[in-house]
C-alpha cells in the first residue's frame, strides 16, 4: 500500500515536472500560455520524497539578484514540493554568512547558502576562517551576469565604460594627479567575485589595480550614501545596487559584468559537506527545487511577479521598478545613460547561449582560483595550478546536480556530461582555455 502511494506520488510529480518543463523550455513563449501548467499552479506542494533524511535546511542569502532562485524556491513552493523546508535567513554581510556557516545550523548558524567564489573553497581550506577548515560543496550556479560596476557622478567626465582604453585613456593618472589621492573603487567583500571583476576590468585597460587605484571594502548598506558623500568613485556589486545607484542619480553604470564576460559564472549555491554527506537525498531535493525555481525565474512572463516578491519588506525591501528593470536587464549604460534592451545581457537563471546556467562546471569554478593565483589572494593555500585543481575537484560536485536534473525531467540534451564548458573569451580578447590554465595566466599582462 505504502509502495503504491509512493509510486502514485512519484508519478504525479513526474507528470507535473514534465508539464513545467514543457512550459519552460518550449521555444515560442506563446506555446506556454495554453498549457495552464506554468506559474503558481505547478508550485503546489506535492507529496513527494517523504523519505528524505531530513525535512529542512537552513540557508543564508544576501538581498541581491543572485539570491532570487532561493527566494522564489521558497515563495513559490518549489522546495516544499520536493519535501524540503528551506529556512532562508538574510545575512548582514558576507563575513556574517561565512561565520554562520562555520557555526552550522546545529550551532545556531546556517548549513550553507549563496556564495561569491572562492568563498566556499577558502572556507573549506580554512583560508578565510582563521585556519578552521569547514569542508563545503559547491552544488549549483545561482545566476549569471546581473552584476556591474557603478561610477559616481563626480567622475562623469571620465566617461568610464567597459573598455576604458577607448573611453577614458589616461583618466586614472589625471584623476590621481588632480585630486592628490588615488581613485577609490569599492566592493562589499574582498578576494571574491566583486573584487575580481573590478580588477579584471581595470587590468584589461592597462590600469594596475594594486598601484593606480585604492581598493576598499564598504558594507553594502553604506554604498548609496558613500557614493553620494564621495567615499568612493566606483563600486562593484550585484544588482539591484548598480541599477539603484543609476536610478537614484547618484552615479552611472560604467560596465556590466555581462559586457566583461558574456554568460560568466557569478554566485553559487554551496552547502557544508557534512550536511550533504549525511543527507544526500535531501541535497538532491534541494537541487530539484532550485532547478525548477531557476526555470521559472528565467521566463519573461514571470519577471514582474518575481520583482514583486523580491521587492517586499520581507525579502529585499527595494523599490519595485528598480527590481523590475534589473531583473529584465533594462539598464542605462554609461555616463550618457544609453538604454540596454537586450535581455541576454541581463541576469540569467537557466537558459543561455552557453547551455544551462545552473550546472556547476568545474572549468568555471576553477577560474576563480586562477584569479586568486593571479592576484596572490591566498598565499600558502592557492599558489599553483595543481593546488587550484585539487581544491576545485574536492569542492565542486556535478553528480548531484545531474541526478536532480534527471529526476526533475530536464531533457538529456540540457544535462552536461562533462566538467568543462570549453573555451571562454573576455571582452578584451583574452581566452581562458580550461585545458591550459597556465596559458591563460601567462596571457594576462598585469598581475601581482
Give me the residues that bind Ca ion (CB under 5 A), please.
Answer: 147, 193, 238
Least separation in angstroms between CB 77 and Ca ion: 26
Spell out the residues 6+ positions from residue 119 whose beta carbon is closer than 8 angstroms to its own.
94, 98, 128, 189, 192, 270
Which lies closer to Ca ion via its Cβ, residue 16 or residue 260?
A: 260
Longest dimension (CA), the chain: 80
Least separation in angstroms between CB 147 and Ca ion: 5
Which lies closer to Ca ion via its Cβ, residue 142 or residue 388?
A: 142
> How do strand 183-187 and strand 213-217 relate by DSSP bridges?
parallel
Least separation in angstroms between CB 192 and Ca ion: 8
Which lies closer to Ca ion via its Cβ, residue 193 or residue 363?
A: 193
Cβ proximity of 207 and 164 under 8 Å = yes
Cβ proximity of 114 and 66 under 8 Å = yes
Question: Left if phi > 0, otherwise alpha if psi is -120 to 50, otherwise beta: which for 82?
Answer: alpha
Which lies closer to Ca ion via its Cβ, residue 325 or residue 407?
A: 325
3-state secondary structure of 375: coil
Least separation in angstroms between CB 260 and Ca ion: 13
- 115 bridge partner residues: 268
Task: Specify the DSSP element, H or E, that contains 198.
Answer: helix 193-204
Strands (E), 261-400: 268-272, 332-333, 338-339
Least separation in angstroms between CB 116 and Ca ion: 6
Least separation in angstroms between CB 290 and Ca ion: 17
Nearest-10 crossing angle of helices 280-298, 399-407: 70
Which lies closer to Ca ion via its Cβ, residue 144 or residue 193?
A: 193
For residue 6, what is its C-alpha cell? 509512493
Least separation in angstroms between CB 15 and Ca ion: 36
Residue 300, Cβ density class (10 Å: 0-12 exposed, 13-18 middle, ≥19 buried): exposed
Distance from C-alpha of 115 to C-alpha of 130, rounded to nearest angstrom? 18
Least separation in angstroms between CB 212 and Ca ion: 24
- According to DSSP, residue 348 is labeled B
Using Cβ positions, the residue closest to Ca ion within the complex turns out to be 238
Least separation in angstroms between CB 257 and Ca ion: 8
Q: Which residue bears the cell 548609496?
A: 224
Which lies closer to Ca ion via its Cβ, residue 110 or residue 117?
A: 117
Count of CB atoms within 10 A of residue 173's CB? 12
Which lies closer to Ca ion via its Cβ, residue 147 or residue 358?
A: 147
Spell out the residues 6+ positions from residue 105 whose beta carbon is closer than 8 angstroms to its own.
57, 58, 111, 275
Q: Which residue bears the cell 576604458?
A: 164
Cβ proximity of 186 and 218 under 8 Å = yes
Which lies closer to Ca ion via its Cβ, residue 61 or residue 175?
A: 61
Which lies closer to Ca ion via its Cβ, residue 161 or residue 256?
A: 256
Amino acid at each position: 500500500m505504502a509502495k503504491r502511494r509512493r509510486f502514485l506520488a512519484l508519478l504525479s510529480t513526474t507528470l507535473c515536472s514534465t508539464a513545467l518543463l514543457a512550459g519552460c523550455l518550449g521555444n515560442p513563449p506563446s506555446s506556454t500560455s495554453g498549457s495552464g501548467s506554468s506559474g503558481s499552479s505547478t508550485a503546489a506542494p506535492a507529496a513527494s520524497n517523504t523519505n528524505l533524511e531530513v525535512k529542512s535546511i537552513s540557508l543564508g542569502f544576501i538581498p541581491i539578484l543572485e539570491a532570487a532562485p532561493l527566494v522564489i524556491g521558497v515563495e513559490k513552493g518549489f522546495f516544499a514540493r520536493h519535501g524540503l523546508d528551506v529556512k532562508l535567513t538574510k545575512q548582514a554581510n558576507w563575513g556574517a554568512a561565512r561565520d554562520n556557516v562555520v557555526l552550522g545550523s546545529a550551532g545556531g548558524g546556517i548549513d550553507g547558502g549563496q556564495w561569491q567564489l572562492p568563498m566556499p573553497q577558502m572556507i573549506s581550506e580554512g583560508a578565510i576562517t582563521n585556519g578552521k577548515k569547514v569542508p563545503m560543496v559547491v552544488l549549483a550556479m545561482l545566476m549569471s551576469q546581473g552584476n556591474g560596476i557603478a561610477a559616481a557622478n563626480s567622475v562623469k567626465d571620465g566617461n568610464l565604460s567597459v573598455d576604458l582604453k577607448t573611453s577614458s585613456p589616461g583618466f586614472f593618472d589625471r584623476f590621481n594627479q588632480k585630486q592628490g589621492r588615488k581613485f577609490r573603487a569599492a566592493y562589499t567583500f574582498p578576494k571574491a567575485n566583486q573584487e575580481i571583476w573590478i580588477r579584471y576590468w581595470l587590468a584589461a585597460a592597462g590600469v594596475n589595480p594594486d598601484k593606480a587605484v585604492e581598493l576598499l571594502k564598504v558594507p553594502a548598506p553604506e554604498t548609496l550614501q558613500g557614493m553620494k558623500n564621495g567615499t568612493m568613485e566606483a563600486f562593484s556589486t550585484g544588482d539591484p545596487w548598480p541599477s539603484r545607484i543609476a536610478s537614484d542619480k547618484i552615479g552611472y553604470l560604467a560596465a556590466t559584468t555581462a559586457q566583461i564576460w558574456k554568460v560568466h559564472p557569478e554566485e553559487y549555491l554551496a552547502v557544508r559537506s557534512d550536511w550533504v554527506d549525511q543527507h544526500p537525498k535531501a541535497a538532491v531535493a534541494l537541487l530539484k527545487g532550485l532547478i525548477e525555481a531557476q526555470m521559472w525565474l528565467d521566463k519573461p512572463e514571470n519577471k514582474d511577479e518575481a520583482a514583486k516578491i523580491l521587492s517586499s519588506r520581507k525579502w529585499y525591501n527595494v523599490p519595485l521598478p528598480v527590481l523590475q528593470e534589473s531583473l529584465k536587464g533594462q539598464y542605462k549604460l554609461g555616463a550618457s545613460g544609453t538604454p540596454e534592451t537586450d535581455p541576454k545581457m541581463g541576469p540569467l537563471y537557466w537558459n543561455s547561449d552557453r547551455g544551462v546556467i545552473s550546472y556547476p562546471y568545474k572549468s568555471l569554478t576553477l577560474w576563480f582560483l586562477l584569479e586568486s593565483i593571479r592576484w596572490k589572494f591566498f598565499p600558502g593555500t592557492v599558489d599553483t595550478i595543481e593546488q587550484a585543481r585539487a581544491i576545485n575537484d574536492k569542492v565542486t560536485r556535478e553528480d548531484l546536480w545531474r541526478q536532480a536534473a534527471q529526476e526533475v525531467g530536464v531533457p538529456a540534451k540540457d544535462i552536461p556530461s562533462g566538467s568543462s564548458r570549453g573555451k571562454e573569451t573576455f571582452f578584451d580578447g583574452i581566452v581562458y582555455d580550461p585545458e591550459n590554465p597556465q596559458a591563460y595566466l601567462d596571457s594576462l599582462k598585469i598581475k601581482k
